Chain A
Amino acid sequence: MNSMERILATLGGKPLDRRAVAPVLSLYGARLTNCPLDQYYTDPYSYARGQSAVFRTFQPDVLFSPFNFPSIGLAFGSELHFFADQAPNISRPAIGTAEEWDKLVLPDPDTEPHLLFLREAIRQIADECQGQVPVAAVLPPPVDLPVLAMGMESWLETILFKPDEAKRITDRVIPFFVHLANGLLESGATFIVMPCAFMSPAIVTREVASTFARPAMEKAMALIKGPMVLHHGGAPVLAHLDLLMGLPSTVAFGLDHLDNIEEARRIAGPDIVLFGGPCGPNLGRKTATEVEEECLAILEDRRKDAHFALFTAGADIPMSTSPENIHAIPKAAESYGKN
């Protein structure tokens, strides 16, 4: 089976040669190609070369678009700080208050250079993969996008204390989100992965998640022309997993490494794909043997679960992670599949 067949079989609950594996290696391609990060995150050809190197080195079943949301912030006018060994961060948001949204011109995904970078990077990776490896486009949901323009505190403050403003802003953002997401799919992304911070029980109360975030996501996702994977967003998601159920086009959930997968399966039902696995940011702080044993334990736990795939939870795997630790993930899937 090739990677595309493996992922499609997982979606369909069909027999596999081995479990699909999807370590999040967006950043790691820069290490493999020795590419400076300011180039890696601005030049689509450099990024695509990095993903080719990721595929040649680790044979993952999913390749990722740039896991670099701050570059979307750049398109809104925010300023970035580049690092030597991690994706950039926003050092200064474009605006500071909800009121300033009225003056903000939303970028055009068809012409704005930083957004075109995302599309072109996906196009390059997809061309090279020729349909044999799925390409995941990673994108924040419309309820998270305002953070990239106004910063976390201002957006949280707006949601909590000015809910009408928050809804008005989200209504403006949704068409932008839909346009961008569909553009990424048209460029060759197989599916969209959305880390859902403002649906997370670590970030917002159940009331905010159900009355503000979910309706906006429902409205936006109904307009997306491709499958969506809802990602835990950096913290355990189980307490709000039921709120993510039934959103349009959802084919899978990505769980936190601390989530109980069996409990998630009970909530999600038997047919949706669950991605689970070790914590990506923490991967380099273990031995390769520990990573492999952790993966094997998870695979054993999911032995009868036809709709399960192994991934790395959380953000990107850090560049400092030893390749042996990453190899341990497909190795676990290979060796478990042979048992």
Chain B
Amino acid sequence: MDIQRSLIDKICKADRTGANMLLDAWGEENGYDRLLQDVLDPVLVQIGEEWRSPGTVTLAQAYVAAKVAEDLMGRIAERSKITPEVRQKKGPAVIGNIEEDFHALGRKMVGTFLYTEGWVLHDLGNDVPAATFVDKALETGARVIGVSAMMLTTARNITKVREEIDRRNLTGLIRLAVGGAIFRVCPGLVEEIGGDGTAANALGAARLFDMLWADSLVKEAGV
């Protein structure tokens, strides 16, 4: 079995230790500098694709994938010659849980996957007011704001971020990614609260952010 398939197999079994051993063995043989590009990135893309359909991934498996990515990033930082400044080329982006939302797990996993994919992130944490998201995006030059909410009531608070972006004439220039369990339960909620896009799960966040960043550039260019 090739390394990528073996790693997917370990993650599917929620076997963090086994996944780390596999990656270490490969890193020792082929070099830690190559682990991210040759193994983890393609694996995360692949499982993100395979798990796009509802019900194909458990929270536990996605969490293990995030932990394996986090572990690997730590080891690469220790052993690789590639510095974070060189590796983190995308973004920046701003993420956080909307005002009155305290369900941090999904947002943290999104943060891990985005970081692994090379994004520079500003994670504002839980219970973040709408204006703070936009202020931070303007301060850092972020073109994408990712807002997480677990419940219908708190998801509706995301409308305030939409309004804040529009009020400051940033429509299209700063894109609004939304996520959380409630968006899977309520079809049409993304559009209702003014989101520009969502992902089926945390693993799909990097692809979504890439797309929204590109959309922002197109808007800026006036194409």
Binding site for B on A (CB under 8 A): 81, 83, 85-86, 89-91, 151-153, 156-157, 159-161, 201-205, 207-208, 234-236, 239, 258, 279, 281-282, 285, 314-315, 318
Contact between A281 and B58, CB atoms less than 8 A apart: no
On chain B, which size bracket covers the interface?
20 to 34
A152 CA to B54 CA in the complex, in Å? 21
Most buried by A among B152, B188, B189: B152
Contact between B153 and A85, CB atoms less than 8 A apart: yes
Given A89-B102, A160-B64, A208-B14, also A202-B59 (CB < 8 A): yes
Q: Which of B12, B55, B102, B105 contacts A202 (CB 8 A)?
A: B55
Given A203-B60, A208-B14, A208-B60, also A282-B185 (CB < 8 A): yes
Contact between B153 and A285, CB atoms less than 8 A apart: no
Contact between A156 and B185, CB atoms less than 8 A apart: no
Contact between B13 and A91, CB atoms less than 8 A apart: no
Q: Which of A85, A161, A258, A281 contacts B182 (CB 8 A)?
A: A281
Residues of B within 8 A of A258 (CB): 54
Most buried by A among B12, B59, B64, B182: B59
Residues of B within 8 A of A279 (CB): 185-186
B212 vs chain A, min Cβ distance (A): 25
**B24 sits at the interface (CB 8 A):** no
Given A208-B14, A281-B186, also A152-B103 (CB < 8 A): yes
Residues of A within 8 A of B152 (CB): 86, 281, 318
B10 vs chain A, min Cβ distance (A): 12
Residues of A within 8 A of B188 (CB): 285
Given A160-B14, A281-B185, also A153-B105 (CB < 8 A): yes
Residues of B within 8 A of A239 (CB): 55
Q: Which of A90, A159, A160 contacts B102 (CB 8 A)?
A: A90
> Interface code B164-199, partner A: CB below 8 Å = 1, 0 otherwise?
000000000000000001100110110010000000
Residues of B within 8 A of A81 (CB): 100, 102, 127
B4 vs chain A, min Cβ distance (A): 20
**B108 sits at the interface (CB 8 A):** yes
Residues of A within 8 A of B143 (CB): none
Contact between A86 and B55, CB atoms less than 8 A apart: no
What are 6 A-B residue pairs whose CB atoms fall within 8 Å in the complex?
A: A153-B108, A202-B59, A205-B61, A234-B181, A235-B181, A258-B54
**B104 sits at the interface (CB 8 A):** yes
A315 CA to B192 CA in the complex, in Å? 20
B51 vs chain A, min Cβ distance (A): 12
A215 CA to B82 CA in the complex, in Å? 47
Contact between A156 and B105, CB atoms less than 8 A apart: yes
> Interface code B102-120, partner A: CB below 8 Å = 1, 0 otherwise?
1111001000000000000
Contact between A202 and B153, CB atoms less than 8 A apart: no
A152 CA to B181 CA in the complex, in Å? 14
A281 CA to B187 CA in the complex, in Å? 12
| Chain B residue with Cβ nearest A198 | B60
Contact between B58 and A161, CB atoms less than 8 A apart: no
Residues of B within 8 A of A151 (CB): 104
- Report the 9 A-B pairs with minimum CB-CB distance, sorted nearest first: A86-B153, A153-B105, A203-B59, A204-B60, A91-B102, A152-B105, A282-B186, A89-B102, A281-B152
Residues of B within 8 A of A281 (CB): 152, 182, 185-186
**B77 sits at the interface (CB 8 A):** no
A234 CA to B55 CA in the complex, in Å? 12
| Chain B residue with Cβ nearest A156 | B63
Contact between A203 and B58, CB atoms less than 8 A apart: yes
A160 CA to B13 CA in the complex, in Å? 10
Contact between A205 and B102, CB atoms less than 8 A apart: no
Contact between A160 and B63, CB atoms less than 8 A apart: yes
**B16 sits at the interface (CB 8 A):** yes
Beta-carbon contacts under 8 Å, B20-64 to A: 54-55, 58-61, 63-64
Given A81-B102, A282-B186, A285-B186, also A156-B59 (CB < 8 A): yes
Most buried by A among B108, B127, B151, B185: B185
Given known contacts A156-B59, A239-B55, what 17 new A-B pairs fall within 8 Å (CB)? A81-B102, A86-B151, A153-B105, A153-B108, A156-B63, A156-B105, A160-B14, A160-B16, A161-B67, A202-B59, A204-B58, A205-B14, A207-B13, A279-B186, A282-B186, A285-B189, A285-B192
A83 CA to B16 CA in the complex, in Å? 37
Residues of B within 8 A of A89 (CB): 100-103, 151
A312 vs chain B, min Cβ distance (A): 12
